[in-house]
Amino acid sequence: MAIREGVLGVEKTYGDLLADALALRSKMEATLSDQVKQQLAQKEEVYIGILAPGGYEFAVAIVAALATGAAVVPMSKLAY
């Protein structure tokens, strides 16, 4: 198991995490402007902010953003 989320009872393997991150990366890349894609291709600094509740979805978003080649600004909003 890669992630065991006790509150929601979610258990995901490394394969699940990779598959979900790659699927999200594909969707993220489809929404990027041509300018941002060019910056990534030229290894320029690009920052992607991730605002999501903590947990599996947050982990997937972080891995997906890193997989684009961008830097990540994690901003977790925990529900209380």
pLDDT digits over 21-55, tens only? 999 999 999 999 999 999 999 999 999 999 887 78
- For CA atoms 79, 12, 32, 69, the dihedral sign is positive
How many domains in the chain? 1
Structural domain of 34: 3-76
pLDDT digits over 6-20, tens only? 777 889 999 999 999
What does the radius of gyration of the chain's CA atoms come to, in whole angstroms?
A: 14
pLDDT digits over 53-77, tens only? 778 888 999 999 999 999 999 886 6
The Cα 42–Cα 19 span in angstroms is 26
- Per the DSSP assignment, residues forming a β-bridge with 11 are 4
